[in-house]
Homo-oligomer: A and B are copies of this chain.
């Protein structure tokens, strides 16, 4: 299931996006008409965590006694276990947990499996358990909270590979996710290459504007930049 069979990203797109800030990406998506792209209430578990990759999804529904009784995490077809066991390099697991943080969605051993498979990270609007253990794994986790309870005290692992809501944003399998200190932005797959190109420029320009503002200039004409400022930027860029 994790293999999504999608047209591969052009080379360099993910690398470029990985160097961009989520603030820049969110701004550029907005200019392209995508206002809803950044998750609310989801933060890096470890300060400094950064990630970029392709979304695969896992959907949790509320615990229901009869349904949970029918499934076992020992079953290799269990949606959570199967998805994690077969995650592919560069993928990011999105665990849609209805924003309910009264239970963990997974812990360190499942994170370790994903790390071993080469996954790029995980994100959930629920909680994770064993924060210390997860940090020791070293795979970036962006989470709605921390809670020691196991997932099956609150959740029913319904299915994988479907569109989901996470942190208030719809995620389609194959979307590109970027995570940094601010949190996680969802880039519709077909926008990724374009956003990568723009974001390089956006970040560089911001560095330039930041320098000028830090140097004591007024916002006027600088932020946002007017024509003259953009010309000055071009010169600065060439001379760098």
A184 vs B206: C-alpha distance when bound (angstroms): 30
User: Once the chains bind, are A210 and B112 in contact (CB under 8 Å)?
Assistant: yes
A81 to B115 alpha-carbon distance, docked (Å): 42
Pairwise interchain contact A108-B64, C-beta atoms closer than 8 A: no
Identical copies in the complex: 6
Find A148's partner among B115, B153, B182 (CB 8 Å cutoff). Answer: B182
The answer to whether A109 touches B223 (Cβ under 8 A) is: yes
A123 at the B interface (CB under 8 A):
no
Shortest A74–chain B CB gap in Å is: 5
Interchain CB contact under 8 A, B66 and A147 = no
Q: Is A230 an interface residue (CB 8 A)?
A: no
Provide the residues of chain B in CB contact with A67, threshold 8 Å.
170, 172, 188
A182-B129 in contact given A61-B164, A210-B108 (Cβ < 8 Å): yes
| Interchain Cβ contacts under 8 Å between A and B, 26 examples | A26-B129, A26-B148, A30-B149, A34-B64, A37-B149, A40-B101, A62-B168, A76-B219, A85-B218, A109-B223, A112-B214, A113-B219, A115-B214, A116-B213, A116-B215, A129-B182, A132-B180, A132-B181, A137-B214, A146-B182, A146-B183, A148-B183, A156-B170, A158-B162, A158-B163, A158-B170
